[in-house]
Amino acid sequence: MAATAWIGCSLWDGVADTWRDDAGLVVGDDGRIAFVGAADEALAIARSADTGTDGPDGTAGVVELDGARVVPGLVNGHVHFSLALPGPMQDSVHSSTEADLVLLMAGNARDTLRAGITSVRLVGESRFADMALRRAIDAGLVSGPRIRTAGHALCCTGGHGWDADGHEADGADGFRRATREQLRAGADLIKVCISGGIAGEHEAIDTPQLTQDEMRAVIETAHAWGRKVTAHAGPAHVSEEAVALGLDGIEHGYELTAGLCASMAERGVWYTPTISVSRCEDFFVSNGVPTWMIDRALGAGPRHWESLQHAIAAGVPISLGTDMPPQAAYDGTTATVREMEHMQDAGMTALEVMRASTAAGAEWMQEQGQYGTLVPGAAADLVVLDGDPLADVAALRELWGVVKGGDVVRDDRGALRARVLS
């Protein structure tokens, strides 16, 4: 259709502090938002876009939402579509052919999109299958969220992630080359593992793994190419060194301090807490994760929670990320929604969590206004539901409609089919 008006909803655009009632938006045939405002204005604009040709391809359309709530599609900033935790998951990825791997990732991408996550930031995949999947999604060959990817995560020899196809390197020159290899493959950002974590058997969370020269080589090389760098990080003293060197983001941050968070806030360093990974015992057990990793993850939980609260109190910019598969079943909902509930329980308001889960993801990538918000020029990525997630993000447990780029990808009620305007 030349243009489609979505009308009769309460709309939150990812920017405002509250809902716009009796709202409408117009989606052009390019899948981008042409107008946001009053429902009657949206109808008028859609009609004016009618080309006047015969048949539905040249006419305006309308979707009547009957009071439903509409929010931007969610943005999950810490995703691995080829997640390879120790145990059967890792064995499966390592034994897979490249074709197997791409199909596995494509299935995860499809299910992620249906769960309401319309954009993802991949932070460490295998064999550059992420690049192939990104191309296929962009070309419309398979269904999935918008992908921004780091390629392989970088680590020292034997460092965190080496057994999950992390790119091992040593010395400043080695890390400089490794960074350039990800950029050559098409990386949108760089991910580097600067300490141990919960999934490395022969390390501890607080094991430092890169020298300052190695960290500097990654950060300076990526920045020279216009890419941001985020770091898998556990202890505060390692993170402090990286932040001082110009790091852009911290993933997990299992042991942040109030002082470090104050420095992060001052420098605009982002935090993606992935708080779920230190409290998702059922997920670990169901996927055959070894006991040593489960014990380490759960043991990190109290300090991890405190880190998130330090970040909230200091005003650190926070973006949503799960590390768990975004669509994975978790406590009666998806990992993505459960992560949002954890963030709210830790002290963020529902509005702050919603911003961290939509607009913030695009801002992290310096792509404000392209997705994550419902404003003119942005991709028409919508989540449709009945409840009020600005009051309690648990309302997202009952989402029933998902739209990406103007295309309906989930419609549990059969209510999102556009009819031709007469």
For the chain, residues classed under CATH 2.30.40.10 are 3-72+373-420
Q: What is the CATH number of domain 3-72+373-420?
A: 2.30.40.10
Tell me the residue type at 23.
Answer: A
What percentage of the chain has pLDDT greater than the value 70? Answer: 98
Q: Which residues contact 227 (CB under 8 A, 6 or more apart)?
A: 183, 187, 188, 189, 190
Integer Cα distance of 381 and 409 in angstroms: 10
Classify domain 74-364 by CATH number: 3.20.20.140
Let me know: does 309 contact 258? Beta carbons within 8 Å: no
Q: What is the pLDDT of residue 219?
A: 98
CA 119 to each of CA 129, 404, 422: distance values in angstroms, whole numbers, following the listed order: 17, 9, 34
pLDDT value at 52 more than 70: no
Please state, rounded to an integer, the average pLDDT across all residues of the chain: 96
What pLDDT, on the 0 to 100 scale, is given for residue 59? 77
Residues carrying CATH 3.20.20.140, the chain: 74-364
Tell me the mean pLDDT in the region 54-63. 69
Measured between alpha carbons, how far is 40 from 43 in angstroms, rounded to an integer? 5
DSSP 189-238: SEEEE-B--SS-TTS-TT-B---HHHHHHHHHHHHHTT--EEEEEEEHHH
Q: How far apart are CA 413 and CA 408, in angstroms?
A: 12
pLDDT tens, residue by residue, 71-95: 999 999 999 999 999 999 999 999 9
CA distance 118 to 381: 7
Average pLDDT, integer, range 258-271: 98
Give the CB-side neighbour count of residue 60, counting CA atoms within 13 A. 19
